[in-house]
Amino acid sequence: EDQRESETVNTELLAHRRRLVDEWNAWRVRCKKERAEQKGQEGGHENQGEEDKEEIEVWIDEVIEQIEEEVVD
């Protein structure tokens, strides 16, 4: 019975989260649409030129030495 109860809670929580996401997404889509319309009216010059860049980075994260000091008072 306990298990069944927790399952119900889980299902409810899941439904709750699903609803929150739906609300959020609906609001975001509305905002983006309004923003696009406004940009269109202004003559719409979007910022471009982001995608033609390619960066290659090599990461080396090596711990050579690590000292931890503990202060005793």
Partner 1 sequence: MRPILLQGHERSLTQIKFNRDGDLLFSCSKDHVINVWYTHNGERLGTYDGNNGTVWTVDVDSESLFMVSGAADNTLRLWNVATGKCLYTWEFPTAVKRVAFSEDDNQVVCITEQRMGHQCAIRVFNINRSGDGTKQSKEPAHMFNPIGSKATVCAFTAQPNIIITGHESGKVSLFNVKTGEEINNNERAHSEVVTDLQLSPDKTYCITSSKDKSARIHDTKTLMVIKTFTTETPLNSAALAPNRPYVLLGGGQEAMQVTTTSLRQGKFETRFWHKVFEEEVGRVKGHFGPINTIAVHPKGTYYASGGEDGFVRVHHFDESYFKTELYGDLQIED
Q: Which residues bind partner 1 (CB under 8 A)?
A: 14, 17-18, 20-21, 24-25, 27-29, 31-32, 34-35, 38, 42, 47, 57, 59, 61, 63, 68-71
Q: How far is the CB of 2 from partner 1 (least distance, A)?
A: 23
Q: Is 56 exposed, middle or buried (0-12, 13-18, 19+ CB in 10 A)?
A: exposed
Q: How far is the CB of 61 from partner 1 (least distance, A)?
A: 6
Beta carbons of 63 and 56 less than 8 angstroms apart: no
Q: How far is the CB of 64 from partner 1 (least distance, A)?
A: 12
Q: Which is nearer to partner 1, 9 or 29 (CB)?
A: 29
Residue 46, CA atoms < 13 Å, CB-side half-sphere: 8
Please name the residue that has the structure tokens 């905002």: 31
